[in-house]
Amino acid sequence: MTSNRQRSEADRGGGWRHRAGCLGLDTNIFFPVAEGRSPDGTAQAKSVCQACPVREPCLQWALSQGVDHGVWGGFTASERRALRFRAARRRVQPVNTRRMP
Ligand code: SF4
């Protein structure tokens, strides 16, 4: 049996892929041509991701690698760009000029 610690280490290393909900499915589902143009273009992929046990490590991997195509972790490329943008904005803390000498 795999402990939670071993599992999370495997997830960081890419072991999560062996538990992917999309294993064996048609990859075209996750790389729709019309992403952003058709509301149904990514619906099937997102539905699979919603039930996937490794959604979080999958999304984190796609974000860390800057993957700019396809649905990963239930997010389209444009949705991941928005996540990265919001995360970058949160990292930039506003400077309180009133406290400056
Ligand atoms: S979250 Fe989606 S794309 Fe990622 S492994 Fe699971 S089913 Fe596949």
For residue 22, report the distance from its CA to the centre of ligand 1, in Å. 6
Q: What is the per-residue pLDDT for 3?
A: 46
Of 21, 10, 14, whose CA–CA distance to 73 is shortest? Answer: 21
Q: What is the per-residue pLDDT for 95?
A: 64
Tens place of pLDDT for every residue, the chain, 101 residues? 444 554 455 556 678 999 999 999 999 999 987 555 555 689 999 999 999 999 999 999 999 999 999 999 999 999 999 999 998 888 886 666 676 66
Q: How far apart are CA 68 and CA 58, in angstroms?
A: 14
Q: What is the per-residue pLDDT for 91?
A: 85
Q: Is the CB of 15 under 6 A from ligand 1?
A: no
In the chain, the N- to C-terminal Cα span, in Å, equals 58
Atom of ligand 1 nearest to the CA of 45: 2
Pocket test for ligand 1, best of 19, 25, 27, 30 (most atoms within 8 A of CB): 30
Burial class (CB in 10 A: 0-12, 13-18, 19+), 80: buried
Q: What's this model's pTM, rounded to 2 decimal places? A: 0.76
